[in-house]
Amino acid sequence: MNLLVTMQFDGSGYHGWQVQENAVSVQSVFQDALFRVLGERPDLKACSRTDTGVHAREFCLSLRPAREIPPERLLAALNHFLPKDIAVLSVRRVPEDFHARYCCRGKRYVYEIWNRPVRSAFLSGRALHEYRRIDEALLDRAASHFLGAHDFTSFCTADRRDAGDLTRTVTESRVRREGDFVRFSVAADGFLYNMVRIMTGTLLAVHRGRIAPEDIPGILEKRDRKFAGPTAPACGLYLDRVFYDLPDEV
């Protein structure tokens, strides 16, 4: 059987998703819980990698347990053994050829900024604090320049895993205010290493008057990381949605 597991996690206490030596990752904790349920550590195919401190409201992985187990039973058992900052939302059967990474047709990320003169005692590690009032309409205008298919070399950290074509198609890029929260939402067919954090850092550079919204097309065309803004901290970044084309039932 091939199973799709959808989960969420608070990344504040983890060194990203992927297993690392001498560091606690979400994957290692999840695999420990899986072993307690199944007595095995099946190979996990994750939809994405996440950096230290990045969160996920929806994170997907596929796995093939050695023995049959009802999806609803696996859901309950995993949540019993997982810590409170990791939760499995659903488990379902998927076609035999399904792969959580290669079958993904897109993702949406949200970067959250707490925009108030005084920091919040409850948002440390969960949102970026910006004390100066943000003009969300200005940042939304800047974000609109990311829409469409572009080479995002200027908006990624060099990484051998991203070698090759660095063109991505952005289908949503907007900035909205909800009370004291300013949220940058961006959806695309794929993302490069640190891409959303650099896009966010560039929007914050617009906020601080260092870059104009109309400069962004030129930064894209330069294909040079040094022209974009800084990499925003990981604390405000959430993997918000993972998109698949799947039948209702298998």
Q: Is residue 168 part of a domain?
A: yes
Do 57 and 142 reside in the same domain of the chain? no
Do 154 and 196 reside in the same domain of the chain? yes
Q: Which of 51, 140, 162, 240 is catalytic?
A: 51
Do 113 and 220 reside in the same domain of the chain? yes
Whole-number pLDDT of residue 171: 98
pTM: 0.94
The full DSSP string for 99-118 is -TTTT--EEEEEEEEEESSS
Do 129 and 168 reside in the same domain of the chain? yes
Return all residues near 46 (Cβ < 8 A) that are at least 6 apart: 17, 18, 27, 59, 60, 61, 100, 101
Q: pLDDT tens digit string along 217-235?
A: 999 999 999 999 999 999 9
Instruction: Evaluate if residue 54 carries a pLDDT over 60.
Output: yes
Q: Name the pairing type of β-strands 237-243 and 55-63.
A: parallel
Q: Is residue 246 part of a domain?
A: no
Instruction: Evaluate if residue 248 carries a pLDDT over 90.
Output: no
Residue type present at position 146 = F
Instruction: Give CA–CA dist 129/157, Å, rounded.
Output: 23
Do 186 and 82 reside in the same domain of the chain? no
Q: Count other Cβ atoms within 10 Å, centred on residue 11.
A: 27
Instruction: Evaluate if residue 159 carries a pLDDT over 80.
Output: no
Angle between helices 195-207 and 136-143 (to 10 degrees): 130
Instruction: Give CA–CA dist 200/175, Å, rounded.
Output: 10
Q: What percent of the chain has pLDDT above 90?
A: 92
Whole-number pLDDT of residue 249: 65
Structure tokens at 115: 């925009």
**Looking at residue 20, which CATH number applies to its domain?**
3.30.70.580
Do 113 and 151 reside in the same domain of the chain? yes
Instruction: Give CA–CA dist 1/130, Å, rounded.
Output: 47
Q: Which domain holds residue 211?
A: 106-241
Span 176-203, mean pLDDT?
97
Instruction: Evaluate if residue 42 carries a pLDDT over 60.
Output: yes
Structure tokens at 69: 């187990």
Do 16 and 55 reside in the same domain of the chain? yes
Query: What is the phi/psi pair of residue 64, to 5°?
Result: -125, 95
In the residue annotation, 162 being an active-site residue is answered as no
In the three-class reduction of DSSP (H, G, I as helix; E, B as strand; rest coil), residue 211 is classed as coil
Instruction: Write b or e for each residue in 159-175: b if 16 or more Cβ atoms lie within 10 A of its Cβ, otherwise e.
Output: eeebeeebebebeebbb
Q: pLDDT tens digit string along 61-108?
A: 999 999 999 999 999 999 999 999 999 999 999 999 999 999 999 999
Do 124 and 99 reside in the same domain of the chain? no
How many domains, in total, are found in the chain?
A: 2
How confident is residue 135, by pLDDT bands cut at 50, 70 and 90?
very high
Sign of the dihedral defined by the CA atoms of residues 153, 140, 182, 187, in that order:
negative
Whole-number pLDDT of residue 234: 97
Structure tokens at 128: 């970026």
Instruction: Evaluate if residue 56 carries a pLDDT over 60.
Output: yes
Q: What percent of the chain has pLDDT above 70?
A: 97
Whole-number pLDDT of residue 165: 87
Return all residues near 209 (Cβ < 8 A) that are at least 6 apart: none
Last residue of a domain, one of 48, 82, 103: 103
Whole-number pLDDT of residue 164: 78
Do 111 and 173 reside in the same domain of the chain? yes
Do 142 and 218 reside in the same domain of the chain? yes
Do 46 and 120 reside in the same domain of the chain? no
Three state DSSP letters for 136-169: HHHHHHHHHHHCEEEECHHHCCCCHHHCCCCEEE
